Amino acid sequence: MKCDKVRDIIITDYMDGRLTGAAALNIENHLAECRECREYHKTMLKKTSELFEGLEPMDPPQEVWEAISGKLYKKKERSIGIRDILVSLIPPRRIVLAAVSAGLVFVLLSGVNVWRIYDRGLTQKYMEMQLNYFTDKDTEHENDAAFGSVIEDIFM
Amino acid sequence: MKNIPDELIQRAAAGDEAAFEEIYRLASGFVYAVSYRVTGKRHDAQEVTQDVFLKVHANLKKFEKGTYFKAWIYRITVNTAINCYNRNKRRWSREADLEGMVETSGESGDAEKNIEKEEREKRVEEMLARLGPEQRACLVLREIEGLSYEEISAALKVKLNTVRTRIKRARETILGHAARGDKNEVR
């Protein structure tokens, strides 16, 4: 196997533990025989992978979370505000029921009163008609006196 | 990144803020570390972390099963970090931004350890600064976060060979830079 091909594999799959079986064996056999590739492998490990060993884990400062939750919370507050307004326009169930009941009673009572007024009006009108009929000296009504007079004429 | 239970994702998707905060606690270390390694700036890393979690929160309902949740977080983290880097690279000078990254306990016994930590961080920072953002992202996911080539490929939605090529070129660049550094030291 040529050294440049071996080094390509060393710098990637071999270093990252991806080779198994025959492929790994081939590389190891080559490294056992080739001093330059062996040095290359050793240098690569020292200057790259070992460089990253033992790095401390990093955590973001608390202000990052505060900024995130501040933005999320403001969004939630805004949506709660709109919801609150909508809820406040729609009163609770009991109040709605009470209002509907009161409304029905009002309508019922109003209806009765309206009927009374209407009925009184009709009665009054009838009485006025009768009064006019009896008191009116209009000759038109004299003919009414004849109403029944045919019968009188016939029988009397 | 630690495993995020499906049940937690479902609760967060249903609006449970405590569940979302728990997801943040489990994933923020990864997101912040990758963001910092890709952008090279603490301020940018904080901005990227915020953006990532706001996107996660806005899209939680799509991932109730949690199967691809981690891969999705990897992807938006890397993409958001690379976009941030590209947007800001002309504005920021490529200086190491290590002040305060390594916390000191103030005790004399820890001073040496802290110096070592700072040195290591500085070397990593210098090496990563030689790479383009895509190579940097692949190398960070592989070397620091321990993702396999397949996971990186799925996370970044690139072919496996693309991952392999980026890692190869990143390592060759680092090795070349390191070799030049060694020659300078010898002189």
Amino acid at B94: R
Q: pLDDT (tens digit, 9 = 90+) per residue, B121-155?
A: 888 888 899 999 999 999 999 998 899 999 999 88
Q: Which of A12, A13, A43 sits opposite B175 (nearest CB)?
A: A43
By the CB < 8 Å criterion, does B145 face chain A? no
Q: Which residue of B has its CA nearest to A49?
A: B143
Per-residue pLDDT band at B75 (split at 50, 70, 90): very high
Other Cβ atoms within 10 Å of B42 Cβ, number: 19
Number of H helices, E strands in chain B: 8, 0
Asked if the interface predicted TM-score (ipTM) of this complex is over 0.90, the answer is no
Amino acid at B74: Y
Packed helices A21-33 and A35-44: angle between N→C axes, nearest 10 degrees: 110
pLDDT of residue B100: 42
Q: Which residue of A has its CA nearest to B100?
A: A61
Q: pLDDT (tens digit, 9 = 90+) per residue, A30-60?
A: 999 999 999 999 998 888 878 888 788 889 9
User: In whole angstroms, what is the distance from residue B40 CA to residue B124 CA?
Assistant: 11
Tokens of B103: 């916390």
**Within its chain, how far is the Cα of B169 from the centroid?**
19
The answer to whether B78 and B163 have CB atoms below 8 angstroms apart is no
The answer to whether B84 and B47 have CB atoms below 8 angstroms apart is yes
pLDDT of residue A138: 53
Per-residue pLDDT band at A88 (split at 50, 70, 90): low
By the CB < 8 Å criterion, does A152 face chain B? no
Sign of the C-alpha dihedral computed for residues B143, B139, B68 and A66 taken in this order: positive
Tokens of A59: 């955590």
